[in-house]
Chains A and B, each alone.
Chain A
Amino acid sequence: MNDWVARWPDRVVSAVPELDHEFEERVGDSSRLAFGIAYGVLRNREDAEEIAQEAFARAYRRIGQLKDRQRFRAWLSRMTWRLAIDRWRADRRRQAREQVDPGIWRPSTEEVAVARERARHVWLAIDALPEKLRIVMVLSAIEGHDTREVASLLDIPEGTVRSRLFLGRRQLAERLRWLVTDSPES
């Protein structure tokens, strides 16, 4: 009994560093992904970094539950997405901040102001998309993500990604058509 008691702490502690090492590697591999997803939802750098950190913290606590470690990025993506969406929904102040954010509203030139205004409307329209279309739009927007990568992260066929992208863009065009119809260039 005493021998068993004496060995027990060693067994517990020795299992942890392997997990720690693996997790630190994962941080390096997936930090940009987590940030990109969070930023795609929140469009605020500090908030996105915070959510990414939170996602990694949650991932660390639960990594023992992930049976297929090859699915880490997909698992992290879903976790980050949910955290970001929760923050986005809960943070009513974010909208108020956008209303007064000088970075958005203070134009250096008319052209820049128009572009920023358009971008703001585009992202408001993306925010209003159904979630399954929205997540595809956000993941596809992240630099270096092609259809295959998005399909892998969401665990859906590539054809589904393509069709959701198409539907998402079509809905955006329908919601934003007034942008070009009313603009002086049209």
Chain B
Amino acid sequence: MACDRFTRELNDHAIGAPLGSAAAAHLATCSSCQMRLERETRLMAAIDFAIDQVGSARPASDYQVRLREKASVRTRSGHGRWVLASVAVAAAALVAVAIDLRPSRRPAGAPQGTPATTIARKAPAGVPEAAPSPLSAASRPSRNTMTRRDVRSATGGNGRREAEVLVPRGQPETIARLLASLNGQEPAVASQLVGRTATRADVYQSAETPVSVAPIRIDVVNVPELRALEPLRAN
């Protein structure tokens, strides 16, 4: 019966807890408790051994190298966030152009070949007129904010519709490829870059919302020139 009193204390002693004087005195004279303690000690040794085995596990010899490579690739691609942002903006602008490639809105009777006129801000059918941009025409910083108003349409001498679009400087090729994609060659690519399949309402919304392109220089590029470039391929 005395053994039961010390069972817990002996078990804890095997884990590392100090042994009280009464338990120590009992242990010195009790062979049953000595065996119990020896068994518990063996159990803890087995547990520690198993834990140590896992704790001393080593990664593959090239793990560090792979991790560093991955980290450096990642850090390099960190700069790509700005490129991606630019592409997203470009895509939004392009979609606006694609939607606006429809019959000219020149005043009736205007002669062919007259200079381009600015398309009036007007919501497509079924889309409520958007609230005026917080950046009014007067306060808007030049052409650094892209809105639908910035998209110009013109009719060439052959009667075909032509257009100019304001694109981030250095990215006409991206725009061109997206345009080609929107023209039906690779529609999935454009949808992917825009983030979803754009509807007229989406386009109108995104074009009316002041797109954050302030840091990007804008160039005017003729859409026909852009069309001459290779379309973007999904790969």
Contacts and interface: CB of A to CB of B under 8 A. Distances in A.
Interface in A153-186: 166, 169-170, 172-173, 176-177, 179-181, 185-186
A57 B70 contact: yes
B181 to A, nearest CB: 27
Interface residues of A, number: 51
B74 A115 contact: no
Interface string A131-151: 000000100111100000000
Contact of B78 (A9, A16, A45): A16
A176 B42 CA distance: 11
Interface in A19-54: 19-20, 23-24, 27-28, 31-32, 35-36, 39-40, 43, 45, 48-49, 52-53
A141 B71 contact: no
Most A-side CB within 10 Å, residue of B57, B66, B79: B57
Interface stretch (A72-80, A90-98, A100-108, A119-127): A119-127
Interface stretch (B9-17, B93-101, B124-132): B9-17
B79 A177 contact: no
A9 B82 contact: yes
Contacts of A126: 51
A142 B144 CA distance: 55
B43 A180 contact: yes
B142 A1 contact: yes
B40 interface: yes
A75 B132 CA distance: 45
A51 B57 CA distance: 15
Q: State the majority secondary structure of interface residues on A.
A: helix
A28 B59 contact: no
Nearest to B40: A173
A13 B76 CA distance: 11
Contacts of B60: 45, 49
Nearest to A30: B67
Q: Which of B47, B63, B76, B142 gathers the greatest number of chain A CB atoms within 10 Å?
A: B47
B3 interface: no
A16 B82 CA distance: 12
Contacts of A176: 43, 46-47
Contacts of A27: 67-68, 71
A137 B144 CA distance: 57
A134 to B, nearest CB: 12
B158 interface: no
A66 B72 CA distance: 20
B4 interface: no
B206 to A, nearest CB: 22
Can you list the 6 inter-chain pairs with the closest CB atoms, starting with the nearest?
A141-B55, A20-B75, A122-B50, A119-B50, A8-B215, A141-B51
25 contacts: A5-B215, A20-B76, A28-B64, A28-B68, A36-B55, A40-B54, A40-B55, A43-B54, A48-B57, A48-B59, A49-B59, A49-B60, A53-B66, A60-B75, A60-B78, A122-B50, A123-B54, A140-B55, A141-B52, A142-B55, A166-B16, A166-B17, A170-B15, A172-B47, A177-B43
Interface of B: 11-12, 14-17, 39-40, 42-44, 46-47, 49-57, 59-60, 63-64, 66-68, 70-72, 74-76, 78-79, 82, 141-142, 144, 214-217
